[in-house]
Amino acid sequence: MCASGPVVVYFFPRDFTPGCTAQACAFRDAHPDFGTAGVEVVAISADDAETHRRFAERYALPFRLVSDPDRSIARAWDAMALWGLWPARVTYLVGRDGRIAASIRDELRMQRHVIEVRRALERLRSAG
């Protein structure tokens, strides 16, 4: 993870699905601003490394995609839905201190994840 700034960790159900593609592209489009602010983005789903590689290549994703085939990372981060049977669409902003500064859960409004991360980053900057 990035030592110089906060880290965005977002969980998503599957590569190449319409909603997940929209969410990934929203983070891709915000990446220049995040990079300037020293923010690292990490995306996690149960898809395998090869599927992630193809997804990242097809949509020019400039951030790391992590494979979580047994969903152990998602469970540890409370990023599961439907009684723990399906991965949730959840985004966390982790501050430099290692604490979760924001948590965004929204299955339908993909842009909201980026918007709320931006707001939380502003709050972190204002706080010191």
Residue 36 to residue 61: CA distance in whole angstroms: 16
Superfamily of domain 7-127: Glutaredoxin (3.40.30.10)
pLDDT at 5: 77
Q: Domain locations in the chain?
A: 7-127
Residue 12 to residue 19: CA distance in whole angstroms: 9
pLDDT at 1: 42
pLDDT at 2: 41
Q: Say whether 109 sits in a helix, a strand or coil.
A: coil
Q: Which residues pair with 22 in a beta bridge?
A: none
What radius of gyration do the chain's Cα atoms show?
Answer: 14
pLDDT at 30: 94
pTM for the whole thing? 0.89
pLDDT at 88: 82
Q: Which residues pair with 66 in a beta bridge?
A: 44
pLDDT at 116: 87
Q: Which residues are catalytically annotated?
A: 20
The segments of the chain whose pLDDT lies below 70 read 1-4, 83-85, 107-108, 128
